[in-house]
Structure 1
Amino acid sequence: MDWTQTIFEVIDMRSFSNLWFWIALAVVWSSASHWVLGVPFDMITRARRHGGQAQEDLETLVSINVRRLLFIGRVSGLVLIGFLCFLLTALAILGFVYDVEFAQALFLIGLPLSGVLALSLATARRLERDEPQGEELYRRLLRHRQIVQVIGMVSIFVTAFWGMAQNLSHNWINGF
């Protein structure tokens, strides 16, 4: 017996029935909502509670990350958007036309994350334009985080629904 065949028999390599996929999905969305424009959420709450040096550090870090995101967007944004569209299209075709479950799983993670990327760029543009400080900055960062969390919740729901349908159809075809 071949060792790869043994591995594939012992470990279910289908994405939606694999525990590691669901752990990875949870980590992706947990990280996406924790890092608000590259700033950790605990830093925002600390600056809001204590002010002073923590607030100055937050404003500096937000300013640095806003300039970094916008620089990347302005310098190589079109190339990155083209590559992202190609990748998502390839995953969608492989996943939903050719029924490759791994491509479906990656698409269901990647599509909403591309929305988070667009949201981050839009928020960064607004922060650069308005240069908010103090309570206004906290409000905007927390609003951005809430929207990311809603996108994540909808994404997890859709992925779970699709995964359940895939698992049921696979079990139905192959028998229980």
Structure 2
Amino acid sequence: MDLYTTVFEMIDMRSFSNLWYWIALAVAWSSASHWVLGVPYDMVLRARRLGGQAERDLEDMVRINVNRLLYIVRVSGAWGMGIACFLLTVLALSGFVYRLEFAQSLFLLGFPMSLVGLLNSATAHQIERERPSGELLRKRLMRCRTYTQMIGMASIFVTALWGMYQNLSLGVLG
């Protein structure tokens, strides 16, 4: 058995029947809902529970991450959006028109994550505009996390349905 065969047995290009794809999907959504604007959610909970220095640390961390995110958006936002739209279009066409399962799986992971990216950008703009602190800041972060989790649940549901359909249809045909 050569290296090429071994690698492609480990990384099966039929993504929906591969355990690694589902692990990657779970890790991606778990990370996306834990890191709200680059701030770990446990830091938000600690600030609510303890106040004081934990609250100031949260506000500083949010300020740093919001400024960083908005700098990236302002400097390369149009190019980033164009490249992301191009890549998502290529994945959608390759996956759903040309029936390439690997492209379908990447699209079903990438498209909802791009929505989370837009949500984070909008939340960062709102935080920059309002300059909230304390309870209002925590409320903004919790709302962003809740919407991220809603997008994640819908994404996992749709991906699971599509994956089951793919596995059943290939199982019947193959």
Q: Distance in 1 between matches of 2:57 and 2:163?
A: 42
Distance 1:12 1:139, change over 3 A: same
TM-score by length of 2: 0.95
Identify the residue that residue 102 of structure 1 maps to in structure 2: 102
Q: Distance in 1 between matches of 2:43 and 2:163?
A: 35
Which deviates more, 2-11 or 45-54? 2-11
Structure 1 runs of 4+ aligned residues shifted over 2 Å read 1-13
- In structure 2, stretches of 5+ residues that fail to align are none
Q: Distance in 2 between matches of 1:10 and 1:113?
A: 25
Q: Distance in 2 between matches of 1:117 and 1:9?
A: 33
Q: CA shift at 1:101, angstroms?
A: 0.5
Identify the residue that residue 128 of structure 1 maps to in structure 2: 128
Distance 1:3 1:66, change over 3 A: closer
Identify the residue that residue 164 of structure 1 maps to in structure 2: 164
Q: CA shift at 1:113, angstroms?
A: 0.5
Which structure 2 residues correspond to residues 143-162 of structure 1 after superposition, within 5 A?
Answer: 143-162=143-162
Identify the residue that residue 83 of structure 1 maps to in structure 2: 83
Which deviates more, 9-18 or 161-170? 9-18
Q: Could you list the per-position Cα deviations for residues 15-64 of structure 1 after superposition, in whole angstroms to 9, with x for gaps in the alignment?
A: 00000000000000000000000000011100110001110000000001
Matched length: 174
Identify the residue that residue 66 of structure 2 maps to in structure 1: 66
Distance 1:32 1:11, change over 3 A: closer
Q: CA shift at 1:171, angstroms?
A: 0.3
CA RMSD of the aligned region, Å?
1.4
Note if contact 2:13-2:101 (Cα within 8 Å) is conserved in structure 1: no
Q: Distance in 2 between matches of 1:24 and 1:133?
A: 35
One-letter identity of the residue aligned with 1:161: L
One-letter identity of the residue aligned with 1:129: R
Q: Distance in 1 between matches of 2:136 and 2:78?
A: 31
Distance 1:59 1:13, change over 3 A: same
One-letter identity of the residue aligned with 2:56: E
Identify the residue that residue 56 of structure 1 maps to in structure 2: 56
Distance 1:25 1:11, change over 3 A: closer
Note if contact 2:34-2:41 (Cα within 8 Å) is conserved in structure 1: yes
Q: Distance in 2 between matches of 1:41 and 1:165?
A: 35
